[in-house]
Structure 1
């Protein structure tokens, strides 16, 4: 898995626990982190998957994901993990987002998480598998819940009346952008490789 994010690896392994697939973080292979120069989630996911496949000599899955807020013209988008500064903490990013959306009325704070997953057989794979999904919600000014990470404490799921940080990890894996994209990816890999 082309990520250094332990929370993401844990989420993916939880999703895959009923399969024979094990997610191994790229850190185990001393894969250097590439510069994310893309302007879209797809471009950045391809950069990361290609880099991980190159340095590990194994097939790689990369995730690029983030949150898109309508009243902020789609920001933070691909800069979600470094929204407040280059090496920002989740708390710093969330605080900046809350501060920025607080200028807008509640009905304009609609948002969605996006996840793009890219699977590459090797660094030269000309036809990577790309799966993308979104998860609709809205940003609230309060932080609620202890589960999840990133923007989850202020990402309200209107149908549930709870934030992504208030629901169980199991429910989050079923509903979330990442869970849905991984479900799609597994379907493709099973058909393509019998994985």
Structure 2
């Protein structure tokens, strides 16, 4: 069994990756989170892009543990806000990971924006680092287009899911089943693109 460090403390992301691996028939990977390894200094997320942040997190995790490491950086880019919050999504309201405050601020900023101009995309960059060299890293990107609704709906998912209505759907991301979300979501798409590299680890 190959141990794979998922550089997050969000166990929902771990579960999401496990579902994607199971659905693709990839066995032989044992997933660990940051809670399962000794603590190490994590560099602040200062990258200008999701890709830069994901790669920096995965490199830090590999350097500290020697384990193949996957990291993701994700967020929502809103057309009417010039693609913000973007890489600032998790701390848009000022405190990292306060989903309710971040969502409330976003809705307030879009209060006067008409429905036809509320387009947005969830973006996820996933990085896999399995060695110290430049060639030992893979970075992939997934995008999920939709619009921002005016009121939160649904109790599933996390982050901005309750206010994100995927294109062609009548249900928000928070109203989809985990399997439905995996099949369409930004992170599901990025993790699927990462599958060939994950298979090589096994």
Alpha-carbon contact 1:13-1:22 (below 8 Å) kept? no
Partner of residue 121, structure 1:
130
Shift of residue 88 of structure 1? 4.2
The runs of at least 4 consecutive aligned structure 1 residues that moved more than 3 Å come to none
Match of residue 63, structure 1, among 61, 72, 76: 72
* Whole-Å separation in 2 of the counterparts to 1:194 and 1:33: 24
Shift of residue 89 of structure 1? 1.0
Match of residue 19, structure 1, among 1, 23, 26: 26
Q: CA RMSD in A?
A: 1.4
State the TM-score, normalizing by the size of structure 2. Answer: 0.90
Match of residue 139, structure 1, among 121, 127, 148: 148
Shift of residue 135 of structure 1? 0.2
Count of aligned pairs between the two proteins: 192
Cα displacement string for residues 77-103 of structure 1 (whole angstroms, at most 9, x for unaligned residues):
001111101334111111111111112
More strand by share: 2
* Whole-Å separation in 2 of the counterparts to 1:13 and 1:189: 12
Partner of residue 160, structure 1:
169
Task: Extract unaligned runs of 5+ from structure 2.
Answer: 1-5
Cα distance 1:88–1:121, how it changes in 2: closer, same or farther (>3 A)?
closer
